[in-house]
């Protein structure tokens, strides 16, 4: 786009945006091709992310994470699940608290892989369900949630530094296994009836609490300071396999509970509700009023803009500068259709008074074209004038420059006495 386009009279700036548009003018809505050009980068990024997610999910399909009985990785526990299966123990994996409590029964051992992910309320619900059903509980390395799950057992702040330890207790499963890798978290025991095994500096790393529930089968709670003896890479070492079989294979059903994001989200909701219950009622009403006010302000300020309004410029700008700036913007956007319509519209507005046509009908071909043809004294040029003043947009920049020159020539011809 060059500055050879027709310029308005000096001293004022005629904005094409404020000029009258004929009916059926160029639409300002983006075309499908323009939408695709603008959004293809975002779509490409989203496609890459989706493909990467699918590839990662496929790569990890056989690895469900550490301490998962379905995982064959070094930190998984698929080997111990297969060993238990050979001894008639069925292993089921659950990931929510509801599934864990509903799976409990007198013939069930419930293993909690990560007890510290449970809140005190969730741990209490799990403890109540175990007491009511007589299920055995096995807790792997709890440091925070030992209170509700294992009353009378508290984690010590100093961890054990040994890899293995001797049983040093009368628990049959520990005596049969011998030394095992249970050392990690050490516990202080205040319960009256408890078996303290695998001592480290005088503190046990495995504690068994016998059940006080009046059930025929009973239900014990076992706290182990480290899950290393259950992993695939450590199961065959020392007495780990024997200890795992003794702790988890005493009953025909084993429920392997791995707390998931659903339990964490539920814990967050419980925490928020507890915080909300601490607020006075007046504060809650104030928060509700602020929320309503914010919604009303967003609705008020987020209203849609109306039509364009022509306003005078705050400063005087030379017409040539605004014309050149507008031309550069049109050239950058390749908006030859709008530039051509601006040139034709301004020419029609200037030709109307010269030919005796009212300005209100300057953009009507039936009124303007006969008057211009009569003014130049050549009625045979009506078709050429139709194409020049009301024709289609030019196909390239050269055609746009030619259109501007022809409009200038026509205006000079009509302006001659």
> How far is it, in rounded angstroms, from Cα 167 to Cα 196?
9
Domain 78-269 in CATH 3.40.50? The answer is: yes
The H or E element containing residue 13 is none
List Cβ neighbours of 100 (8 Å cut-off, separation of 6 or more). 94, 110, 112, 126, 129, 255, 257
pLDDT for position 253: 93
Show the 3-state SS of 237-263: CCCHHHHHHHHHCCCCEEEEECCCHHH
DSSP state of 204: E
Q: Are 139 and 224 in contact (CB under 8 A)?
A: yes
pLDDT in tens, 56-114: 665 554 456 678 888 888 888 899 999 999 999 999 999 889 899 999 988 999 999 88
> How far is it, in rounded angstroms, from Cα 236 to Cα 241?
6
Q: Smallest Cα–Cα separation from 96: which of 219, 351, 296, 266?
A: 266
Q: Smallest Cα–Cα separation from 117: which of 285, 284, 262, 276?
A: 262
* Residue 124 burial (CB count, 10 A): 15
DSSP state of 180: B
**DSSP for 61-114?**
TT---TT-TT--STT--HHHHHHHHHTT-EEEEE-SHHHHHHT--TTEEEEES-
- The model scores a pTM over 0.85: no
Residue found by looking up tokens 């992310």 in the block: 49
pLDDT in tens, 140-172: 988 876 778 888 888 888 877 777 788 888 888
User: How are beta strands 108-112 and 136-140 bridged, if at all?
Assistant: parallel
Torsion of CA 268, 271, 277, 281, to 10 degrees: -50
Among the ranges given (66-70, 159-163, 197-201, 347-351), the one the predictor scored with the smallest mean pLDDT:
159-163
Q: Are 144 and 204 in contact (CB under 8 A)?
A: no
Q: Summarize the confidence of residues 227-250 as an average pLDDT.
A: 90
pLDDT for position 161: 74
Domain edges within the chain: 26-61, 78-269, 318-415
């Amino acid at each position: 786009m060059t500055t050879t386009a027709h310029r308005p009279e000096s001293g004022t700036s005629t904005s094409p945006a404020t000029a009258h548009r004929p009916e059926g003018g160029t639409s300002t809505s983006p075309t499908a091709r323009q939408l695709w050009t603008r959004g293809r980068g975002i779509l490409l990024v989203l496609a890459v992310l989706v493909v990467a997610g699918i590839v990662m999910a496929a790569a990890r399909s056989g690895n469900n994470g550490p301490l998962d009985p379905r995982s064959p990785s070094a930190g998984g526990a698929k080997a111990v699940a297969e060993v238990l299966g050979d001894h008639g123990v069925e292993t089921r994996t659950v990931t929510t608290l509801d599934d864990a409590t509903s799976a409990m029964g007198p013939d069930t051992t419930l293993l909690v892989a990560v007890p510290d992910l449970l809140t005190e309320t969730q741990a209490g619900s799990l403890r109540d369900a175990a007491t009511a059903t007589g299920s055995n509980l096995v807790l792997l390395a709890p440091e925070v949630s030992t209170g509700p799950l294992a009353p009378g057992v508290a984690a010590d702040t100093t961890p054990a530094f040994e890899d293995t330890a001797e049983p040093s207790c009368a628990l049959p499963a520990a005596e049969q296994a011998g030394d095992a890798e249970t050392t990690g978290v050490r516990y202080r025991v205040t319960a009256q009836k408890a078996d303290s095994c695998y001592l480290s500096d005088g503190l046990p790393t495995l504690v068994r609490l016998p059940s006080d529930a009046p059930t025929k089968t009973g239900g014990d709670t076992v706290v182990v300071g480290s899950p290393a003896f259950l992993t695939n890479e450590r199961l065959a070492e020392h007495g780990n396999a024997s200890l795992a079989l003794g702790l988890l294979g005493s009953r025909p059903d084993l429920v392997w509970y791995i707390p998931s994001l659903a339990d964490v989200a539920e814990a967050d909701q419980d925490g928020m509700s507890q915080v909300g219950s601490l607020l006075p009622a007046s504060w809650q009403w104030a928060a509700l009023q602020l929320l309503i006010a914010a919604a009303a302000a967003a609705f008020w300020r987020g209203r849609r803009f109306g039509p364009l309004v022509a306003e005078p410029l705050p400063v005087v700008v030379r017409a040539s500068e605004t014309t050149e700036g507008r031309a550069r913007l049109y050239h950058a956007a390749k908006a030859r259709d709008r530039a051509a319509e601006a040139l034709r519209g301004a020419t029609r507005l200037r030709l109307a008074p010269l030919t005796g046509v009212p300005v209100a009908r300057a953009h009507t071909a039936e009124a303007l074209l006969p008057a211009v043809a009569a003014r130049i004294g050549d009625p045979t040029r009506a078709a050429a004038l139709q194409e020049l003043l009301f024709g289609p947009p030019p196909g390239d920049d050269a055609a746009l420059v030619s259109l501007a020159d022809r409009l200038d020539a026509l205006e000079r011809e009509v302006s001659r006495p």
